[in-house]
């Protein structure tokens, strides 16, 4: 799980951490997209739960934007999240980089999904759309079809030409090597993968997909940085405890080339905790890094293939 950070990068992180401590929320480039995104992004999956309240979503979104957060992630599969996020962003749409996903193989179905998302989000364009979890063989049994002339990627490329979406991305939760042929198409501009100090010992997206993304100058987005939801239901959660919160955030923010770390939010207290952790960020000392690696290896043995198969 070695982060190959150079002295120059460490110096830049030290300057940035000083700025964070002073109250600023700095931004990083999202690869070659031209967008500058906040270190911390909002994950909307918890906002879609049946018992989540629109009023609280409105408060989180407004406060996040006031704090300088501009990256918002959602998906059709997150129950009511797109609807609630769309309502919360009324009058604020131009201030954010809004990302959703498609979860289907064919060109036509992908375009239908995007248009449904536009309706639910109450917007006429999307800053990025991800092909959602290319590691799933049940969702995408054939990469040849997905990436072919009648596949979902071609559908997104057509929508990009029309200006309906601005950038195309990809997410991956399992089977890291399955993401590499998708990157090799040259159409992907940002990638989002599960990245925390435990899963790195099992899935190692950092040393596979993220490394390939850095080589191509793509935007790199970390999800599941606190463990996150696993399985098919948002009620199932990863196993990082509150005691690991700060270490997990420090780990994610130190990933080389990282653009933004996504944290799922449902309550104002979630936003405050994430902001506090980001503003307290500082790179690990060698001794801290050694200890985090030890902890991560031990926990990885307990977790196993928590998110599904590696190969």
Distance, in Å, from the CA atom of 152 to the CA atom of 103, rounded to the nearest integer, reads 9
Q: Which of 6, 3, 39 is nearest to 20 (CA)?
A: 39
For residue 190, count other CB atoms closer than 10 A to its CB: 26
Per-residue pLDDT tens digits for 88-147 = 999 999 999 999 999 999 999 999 999 999 999 999 999 999 999 999 999 999 999 999
- Of 25, 16, 24, 26, residue with least CA distance to 282: 16
Provide the pLDDT for residue 20: 52
pLDDT for the residue numbered 23: 54
Q: What pLDDT, on the 0 to 100 scale, is given for residue 25?
A: 83
Q: Which domains does the chain have, with CATH numbers?
A: 7-227+238-293 (3.20.20.100)
Is a pLDDT exceeding 50 seen at residue 233? no
What is the spatial distance between Cα 160 and Cα 158, in angstroms, rounded to a whole number?
A: 5
Instruction: Spell out the residues 6+ positions from residue 80 whose beta carbon is closer than 8 angstroms to its own.
Output: 47, 48, 49, 50, 52
Whose structure tokens read 């990638």? 191
Give yes or no: 78 in active site.
yes
Given the residues 78, 245, 251, 281, the one annotated as active site:
78
**Does the model's pTM come out above 0.75?**
yes
Q: How many CB atoms lie within 10 A of CB 5?
A: 15
Least confident of 34-48, 222-236, 252-266: 222-236
Range scoring the smallest mean pLDDT among 39-53, 104-118, 192-206, 218-232? 218-232
Query: Residue 11: its pLDDT value, please?
Result: 44
The first and second tokens of residue 234, run together, are: 């948002």
Report the SS3 class of residue 264: strand
SS3 98: strand
Average pLDDT of the residues of the chain: 91
pLDDT score at 2:
58
pLDDT for res 242? 79
Q: What is the DSSP string of 55-68?
A: HHHHHHHHHHHHTT
Residue 70 has pLDDT above 70, yes or no: yes
Secondary structure percentages of the chain, helix, strand, coil, to 5: 45, 15, 40
Is the pLDDT confidence value at 14 over 60? Answer: no
Query: What gap in Å lies between CA 44 and CA 229, rounded to an integer?
Result: 12
Q: What is the pLDDT of residues 171-186, one digit of tens each?
A: 999 999 999 999 999 9
């Amino acid at each position: 799980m070695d982060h190959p950070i150079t002295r120059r990068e460490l110096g830049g992180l030290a300057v940035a951490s000083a700025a964070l401590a002073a109250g600023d929320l700095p931004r990083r480039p999202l690869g070659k997209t031209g967008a500058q995104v906040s270190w911390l992004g909002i994950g909307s999956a918890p906002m879609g739960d049946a018992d989540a309240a629109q009023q609280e979503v409105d408060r989180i979104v407004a406060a996040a934007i006031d704090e300088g957060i501009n990256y918002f992630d959602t998906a059709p599969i997150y129950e009511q999240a797109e609807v609630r996020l769309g309502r919360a962003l009324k009058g604020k749409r131009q201030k954010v980089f809004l990302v959703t996903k498609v979860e289907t193989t064919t060109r036509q179905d992908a375009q239908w999904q995007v248009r449904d998302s536009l309706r639910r989000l109450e917007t006429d364009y999307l800053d990025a759309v991800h092909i959602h979890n290319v590691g799933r063989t049940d969702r995408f049994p054939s990469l040849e079809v997905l990436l072919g002339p009648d596949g979902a990627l071609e559908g997104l490329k057509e929508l990009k030409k029309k200006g309906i979406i601005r950038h195309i991305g990809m997410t991956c939760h399992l089977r890291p090597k399955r993401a590499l042929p998708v990157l090799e198409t040259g159409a992907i501009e940002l990638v989002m993968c599960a990245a925390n100090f435990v899963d790195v010992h099992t899935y190692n997206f950092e040393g596979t997909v993220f490394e390939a993304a850095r080589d191509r100058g793509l935007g790199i987005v970390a999800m599941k940085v606190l463990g996150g939801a696993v399985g098919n239901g948002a009620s199932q959660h990863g196993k990082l405890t509150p005691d690991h919160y700060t270490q997990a955030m420090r780990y994610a923010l130190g990933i080389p080339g990282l653009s933004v770390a996504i944290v799922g939010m449902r309550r104002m207290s979630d936003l405050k905790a994430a902001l506090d952790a980001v503003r307290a960020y500082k790179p690990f000392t060698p001794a801290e890094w050694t200890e985090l690696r030890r902890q991560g290896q031990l926990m990885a043995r307990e977790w196993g293939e928590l998110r599904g198969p590696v190969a």
